[in-house]
Amino acid sequence: MIRLDSTAPRFAADFTALVNARREADSDVSRDVAMIVGSVREQGDAALHAFTSKFDRHDLNATGWRIERSATRAALDSLDPELRAALELARDRITTYHEKQRPADSDTTDAHGVRTGARWNAVDAAGLYVPGGRAAYPSSLLMNVIPAQVAGVERIVMVTPTPDGEVNPLVLAAAELAGIGEIWRVGGAQAIAALAYGTDRIAPVDVICGPGNAWVAEAKRQLYGVVGIDMVAGPSEIVVVADGRNDPEWIAADLLSQSEHDPTSQSILLTDDAAFADAVADAVDRQIGELSTAEVARRAWDANGAIIVVPSLDDTIPLVNRLAPEHLELAVDDPQGLFAQVRHAGSVFLGRHTPEAVGDYVAGPNHVLPTGRRARFASGLSVLDFMKRTSFLALDPAGLAAIGPAAVALATAEGLPAHAKSVSIRLPTSP
Amino acid sequence: MIRLDSTAPRFAADFTALVNARREADSDVSRDVAMIVGSVREQGDAALHAFTSKFDRHDLNATGWRIERSATRAALDSLDPELRAALELARDRITTYHEKQRPADSDTTDAHGVRTGARWNAVDAAGLYVPGGRAAYPSSLLMNVIPAQVAGVERIVMVTPTPDGEVNPLVLAAAELAGIGEIWRVGGAQAIAALAYGTDRIAPVDVICGPGNAWVAEAKRQLYGVVGIDMVAGPSEIVVVADGRNDPEWIAADLLSQSEHDPTSQSILLTDDAAFADAVADAVDRQIGELSTAEVARRAWDANGAIIVVPSLDDTIPLVNRLAPEHLELAVDDPQGLFAQVRHAGSVFLGRHTPEAVGDYVAGPNHVLPTGRRARFASGLSVLDFMKRTSFLALDPAGLAAIGPAAVALATAEGLPAHAKSVSIRLPTSP
């Protein structure tokens, strides 16, 4: 953890270093991924079988290529009732929130009789990657599949690795609760390639979403353009803006809820109260020891944690906008004034009683958010990621007469005579 | 040009081959681009100077790094009045169309007192690539810059190569008309890298848009994630659905307006009238000879043109949706019935008096559209490409009490105790 004071002479340089720090593991996976993608494109299911044997240590022909509906039904039936109720609450609230994201079509006719507009359609098929093992989160499954369902995607395909052939019952239960009927037992870059290009067994999709390890992320990046993807994801982060009137134990828990995700996760406290900063730092150190995730949380906090003391809370705003954090908590009595000045953040949590973790699960907004300063230009996952817009234009002879000559002039100036002719040939005075 | 009959036994295979044909040049530019991007990232302006000397054959320190406002003003002042009026009509109509794309914020409080919503902001800075030489189109400049302006982007930077130091007066006039004040005389992958990472002279941007050659496109693809990009662009295409009651000369001109762009461009006619198909083919052959762009148009039509005869116009719909064309003309009396069945197309031109070229220039909808079947999942350029959404959440103690326990249950099941604690510590019954 580093501690900075925004009035110190070196602060500008230290903060810039914090902003620019690359937390990504610098492993060179791109060549491996290109090889895997190429193999799946050329050899299809045979490559899937071989890579699954190698990386997940099971024989797809023995374990089965698909996870059948009977298995997901059984997982949901045997789910703890409290957990089932929690998942149902999450599903319903996430659905309600995302239904407001459905875009409106437009259709306008102007004074010349020129009709223009736009119509939105869902993609035909979406692929959802669900990690295996420790990072297999039923909450992520819901956050990814619900926007696609609200968009109206007809075919939703899930792929998930089952290392050593073992499935994760909680994930299967969530899949059943979400109504996912097509689940393939494949993972890694090979699963992404199969979704993008299709194989004999797995029909291709149009958009691929969902979290994954570095290989999965790199495969999505390489196949962006062949298919649509949700985003380029990186390590996760939280910035907490808090005055001295918070309970340091609450804020420490918030910081640790980010740190426990991954050693690359980043938690930053911005406060105008140096004594409160000390108290939070102490509380973090004490709480870490109580966590079953202590090892990860300690590595993340030690390497990437930061506490920055500023003269006044208004001074946090330029810092927040430079950091463009995935998650931002504004733990003050009246957060609205600060929030109005925030330009770049994935999701904002307002007030003292809004821990970020509620947003991870049940509040409604999506928890798939832009990381690594990408909130400067990117948004969280939404219904729009599973839809696309077709613009349209309709002219009658009068409308063409009104605006066609300008098109002829520009096409001619650009040296495109067939463009000009396709318009002029339809004009009444055309030679 | 290939001619297909949808009732022929081999049609399914032939059509699939047409859909899957890769028109992209198979050049391996990715290594060169990676090298250029790396050099600019490390050496900044020195790399820009060296690559400009090498590729554009002029010395930036002699010609000047920027194109000054005085030069763009002079270009606009000396522009032909008819062209100026055409550009102004285009600018105003494009602006009016894109103003309807501004997204609405949301802010809702539910029965538990849980407040959720989303707020849109423009990105801080956008970079616009404008090609030099033959493909320098003022219309493209307007189509790229106006959505950014309507979005409210404060800083808009244009980069454009000036081969041998020569500028394109029409592009400079359009830049002045659009009010672009920051123009750098650099192009190629090196310009994209400079916009993404910044140099001493050029501050970095958040989103990069605009057309370019294979190097530019590959640089944008490689830097996607560091910045936002408009899209992965490929060769352009048009599909024309026409009955036999069209003038074959009109439809031939429409097909050629696509073919004249580039040898990789594709034009496809779908019709239910074999005699009309013959007449169009004849008209294309005759009109090509009249074009100053004949050489390009002939190469494109010979290599990638297609005429497909179907039993009825309804049979064109599945073919259109497989092709997911960038441009689609529905040249029939009542296009609305066909249009309702189109799921995948970038932009649709309805009726006999709506040549696609009007949409390229002055109608209002954007001409930057998904190519190469990407309309399956992608949309044309819009105001949304220059904005991003911040979701938000606000809970009071009652709201947290209502939904918090479900978050605690899910966090615990997922093995994330700090997530659970950050919620439970704020609940009244917390231990």
Residue percentage of chain A with pLDDT more than 70? 98
pLDDT greater than 80 at residue A23? no
**B357 to A403: CB separation less than 8 angstroms, yes or no:** no
Residue percentage of chain A with pLDDT more than 90? 92
Q: Rounded to whole angstroms, what are the CA distances from A370 to A242, A382, B197, B205, B389?
A: 22, 12, 19, 17, 10
pLDDT greater than 60 at residue B25? no
If DSSP codes are grouped into helix, strand and coil, which group holds residue B417?
helix
Contact B226, B207 (CB under 8 A): no
The length of chain B, given as a count of residues: 431
- pLDDT tens digits for A113-135? 999 999 999 999 999 999 987 66
Across chain A, mean pLDDT equals 95
| Residue B156 pLDDT class (50, 70, 90 cuts) | very high
Mean pLDDT of A370-383: 96
Contact A219, A197 (CB under 8 A): no
Query: According to the model, what pLDDT value does residue B231 have?
Result: 87
Return the percent helix, strand and coil in chain B, to nearest 5. 50, 15, 35
pLDDT greater than 90 at residue B13? yes
Query: According to the model, what pLDDT value does residue B239 have?
Result: 98
For B377, which of A139, A227, A348 is closest by C-beta distance?
A: A227
| Residue B24 pLDDT class (50, 70, 90 cuts) | low
Listed by start position, the domains of chain A span 30-229, 234-377, 395-424
Side chain identity at residue B209, one-letter code: C
The reply to whether B30-229 and B234-377 are identical in fold is yes
On whether any CB of chain B is under 8 Å from the CB of A403, the answer is yes
CATH number of A30-229: 3.40.50.1980
Query: According to the model, what pLDDT value does residue A136 have?
Result: 77
Contact A5, A306 (CB under 8 A): no
Residues in chain B closer than 8 A to A256 (CB atoms):
418, 421-422
Query: According to the model, what pLDDT value does residue A82 have?
Result: 97
What are the structure tokens assigned to B101, written together?
């794309």
What are the structure tokens assigned to A128, written together?
């959802």
Mean pLDDT of B275-301: 97
**A362 to B407: CB separation less than 8 angstroms, yes or no:** yes
Query: According to the model, what pLDDT value does residue B232 have?
Result: 83
In this structure, the strands spanning B306-309 and A327-331 are: unpaired
pLDDT greater than 60 at residue A428? yes
Residue by residue, what is the 3-state secondary structure of chain A? CEEEECCCCCHHHHHHHHHHCCCCCCCCCHHHHHHHHHHHHHHCHHHHHHHHHHHHCCCHHHHCCECCHHHHHHHHHCCCHHHHHHHHHHHHHHHHHHHCCCCCCEEEECCCCCEEEEEEEECCEEEEECCCHHHCCHHHHHHHHHHHHHHCCCEEEEECCCHHHCCCHHHHHHHHHHCCCEEECCCHHHHHHHHHHCCCCCCCCCEEECCCCHHHHHHHHHHECCEEECCCCCCCEEEEEECCCCCHHHHHHHHHHHHCCCCCCEEEEEECCHHHHHHHHHHHHHHHCCCCCHHHHHHHHHHHCEEEECCCHHHHHHHHHHHCCCEEEEECCCCHHHHHHCCCCCEEEECCCCCHHHHHHCCCCCCCCCCCCHHHCCCCCCHHHHEEEEEEEECCHHHHHHHHHHHHHHHHHCCCHHHHHHHHCCCCCCC
Across chain B, mean pLDDT equals 95
Query: According to the model, what pLDDT value does residue B22 have?
Result: 73
Residues in chain A closer than 8 A to B409 (CB atoms):
82-83, 86
Query: According to the model, what pLDDT value does residue B26 have?
Result: 53
pLDDT greater than 90 at residue B301? yes
Side chain identity at residue B90, one-letter code: A
| Residue A30 pLDDT class (50, 70, 90 cuts) | confident
- pLDDT tens digits for B68-82? 999 999 999 999 999
What are the structure tokens assigned to A388, written together?
């696309």
- pLDDT tens digits for A307-357? 999 999 999 999 999 999 999 999 999 999 999 999 999 999 999 999 999
Query: According to the model, what pLDDT value does residue A233 have?
Result: 81
DSSP classification of residue B374: G
pLDDT greater than 60 at residue A25? no
Distance from CA of A61 to the nearest CA of B (A): 30
What are the structure tokens assigned to A67, written together?
């996870």
Mean pLDDT of B402-429: 95
Query: According to the model, what pLDDT value does residue A192 have?
Result: 98
Query: According to the model, what pLDDT value does residue B134 have?
Result: 64
Residue percentage of chain B with pLDDT more than 70? 98
Query: According to the model, what pLDDT value does residue A26 have?
Result: 53
Residue percentage of chain B with pLDDT more than 90? 92
Taking alpha carbons only, the member of B365, B272, B285 closest to residue B319 is: B272
Distance from CA of A333 to the nearest CA of B (A): 11
pLDDT greater than 60 at residue A430? no
**A355 to B382: CB separation less than 8 angstroms, yes or no:** no
For chain B positions 352-391, those within 8 Å of chain A (CB to CB) are: 353-366, 369-370, 374-380, 382, 384, 388-391
Mean pLDDT of A157-162: 96
Mean pLDDT of B294-313: 97
**A90 to B410: CB separation less than 8 angstroms, yes or no:** yes
- pLDDT tens digits for B393-404? 999 999 999 999
**A224 to B232: CB separation less than 8 angstroms, yes or no:** yes
- pLDDT tens digits for B102-119? 999 999 999 999 999 999
What are the structure tokens assigned to A243, written together?
């005055």
| Residue B132 pLDDT class (50, 70, 90 cuts) | confident
If DSSP codes are grouped into helix, strand and coil, which group holds residue B157?
strand
| Residue B363 pLDDT class (50, 70, 90 cuts) | very high
Tell me yes or no: is domain A234-377 CATH 3.40.50.1980. Answer: yes
B213 is in an annotated binding site: yes
**Annotated active-site positions of A, please?**
326-327
Residues in chain A closer than 8 A to B105 (CB atoms):
none
On whether any CB of chain A is under 8 Å from the CB of B397, the answer is yes
- pLDDT tens digits for A131-153? 987 667 999 999 999 999 999 99
- For residues A117 and A109, give the distance between their C-alpha atoms in angstroms, rounded to a whole number: 9
| Residue A106 pLDDT class (50, 70, 90 cuts) | very high
